[in-house]
Amino acid sequence: MNFERLIDLDLSQPVWERFFSVAPLVLIGTREEGGGYDLAPKHMAMPLGWGNYFGFMCTPRHHTYQNVCRERAFTVSFPQPDRVVLASLAAAPRCDDDSKPSLSALPTFPASVIDGVFFQNAYLFLECELDRIVDGFGENSLIAGKIVAARVREEGARLSDRDDGDLLVQMPLLVYLPPGRYATVERSFSFPFHSGFKR
């Protein structure tokens, strides 16, 4: 490797806008104080460990954070790639009266365990009860939830009679490439784990 070709990044600014990385794109659903529902896109989102926990980053300034603190629950919808434009409506700003009219264009359906909604055009749906909030990542916080219900579209489920290699052909995945791009994953390959590997 030619180390002379490496570029040192200035740590006085966040490094994440100087290159692309791969992240999921999810819509976090929360119940608003007035009884309505909000959906907000997040890409700093991930499973937390090997158990049924899921977390995402958010700032206390956002309604999502405030709603989760109050309601102690949230939903997670993983949008399908062909619905990325529709899902992007969840990122529209609020009006002066604090409403978010763009959400009326999003098809939703109710969660089954918690008081929440899902984005209909998704392939994976998680219902989470708040486990904890960890503040202090600069201006952001990690919101961690315990999954209390989960559903996946049949064509996206790993089944014993289905080859994993064919799965993404039937149900491609949407990935976000921060800052500001996205991609569709339609092919996958078996990872070359070393013999005896254990997680």
> Residue 105: what pLDDT?
85
Task: Tell me the mean pLDDT in the region 141-149.
Answer: 98
- Tens digit of pLDDT for each residue in 45-104? 999 999 999 999 999 999 999 999 999 999 999 999 999 998 888 888 888 887 788 888
Task: Please list the alpha-helical segments (H only) found in the chain.
Answer: 63-71, 84-88, 164-170
Alpha-carbon distances, residue 56 vs 25, 31, 41, 90 (angstroms): 11, 17, 10, 16
Task: Tell me the mean pLDDT in the region 9-26.
Answer: 95
| Domain 19-185 superfamily per CATH | Electron Transport, Fmn-binding Protein; Chain A (2.30.110.10)
Please report, rounded to a whole number, the percentage of residues in the chain having pLDDT higher than 90. Answer: 71
Burial (CB < 10 A; 0-12, 13-18, 19+), residue 198, is exposed
* 144: nearest Cα among 40, 54, 52: 54
